[in-house]
Amino acid sequence: MSATSKTSSPQTLDARPCRAVVFDFDGTLARLNIDFVVMRSDVLKLTAQYGLAVEAVCDLPALELIDRARATLAAVDPPRAEAYVAAAHARIMEIELAAARVGELFGGTRKLLVALQKRGIGTAIITRNCLRAVRTVFPDLDQFVDTAISREMTPRVKPHPDHLRTALAALAAPPDGTLMVGDHPLDMQVGREVGAFTVGVLTGSGNCDDLTRAGAQCVLASASDLLDLLDQACPP
Ligand SMILES: [Mg+2]
């Protein structure tokens, strides 16, 4: 599949059938209300409390920062490294669950997912969030998506390609028949790396330029606009 051009409005795909759509969650199917600045700041404070120089890791997102710090601590004191990881993940989960309790799906999410089901298109969610938080926002997700792979369910989270490959294996879908839809540049990065068609959406953290620079082949105002895109490519 390929887009005719990069734009913020729906574009046509070529005739290759769409077998699966893999969605990011926060900012794509649900309102993004996790405060990632607070999350990183809290993890950095904890990392400093464990005696590590935070300058070396301060550009990394929270999960990768924890992995890096864990490796450094484990080289000298493995039990202390595990205590650090447990404390850091507990703090992250606390922030995620607090956000989830006041979170909500976008209005068109269930309608979109039902429309994809009716077309026989497989659907998945891949998220760096924890499953408890996702299910707090979307308790009936099993009725709407074929699989949801949170960070605890993959050894390596996106943008590592294994996260998306795990979803494609569960859906038995080929990368070149798959759309990867997300609001963040890393969603575009993982989609391109695996060979999916990448669709950015403007309902979360990334703007059109960010998403396009990260490899978005198409940018839509929202995930719900995907139906227009699919209608143009292969009418129901
Ligand atoms: Mg997102």
Our CA angle for 173, 175, 177, nearest 5°, is 70
Residue pLDDT, tens place only, 57-84: 677 889 999 999 999 999 999 999 999 9
Distance 72 CA to ligand 1 centre (A): 29
CA dihedral 200, 203, 206, 211 (to 10 degrees): 10
Our CA angle for 182, 184, 187, nearest 5°, is 55
Q: What is the pLDDT at residue 56?
A: 66
Distance 149 CA to ligand 1 centre (A): 14
Structure tokens of 235? 């009418």
Distance 75 CA to ligand 1 centre (A): 33
CA dihedral 204, 173, 142, 188 (to 10 degrees): -10
Domain 20-33+104-233 homologous superfamily, CATH? HAD superfamily/HAD-like (3.40.50.1000)
Question: How many CA atoms, within 13 angstroms, populate the side-chain half-sphere of residue 132?
Answer: 10
Distance 192 CA to ligand 1 centre (A): 16
Nearest to 18 by CA among 1, 2, 42, 30: 1
Per-residue pLDDT of the chain (236 residues; tens, 9 = 90+): 444 334 433 344 555 678 999 999 999 999 988 988 899 999 999 999 999 887 766 778 899 999 999 999 999 999 999 999 999 999 999 999 999 999 999 999 999 999 999 999 999 999 999 999 999 999 999 999 999 999 999 989 999 999 999 999 999 999 999 999 999 999 999 999 999 999 999 999 999 999 999 999 999 999 999 998 887 765 55
Structure tokens of 220? 């839509």
Q: What is the pLDDT at residue 14?
A: 52
Instruction: Note whether 198 and 217 are within 8 A (CB).
Output: yes
Q: For residue 18, is it left (φ>0), alpha (ψ between -120 and 50) or beta? A: beta
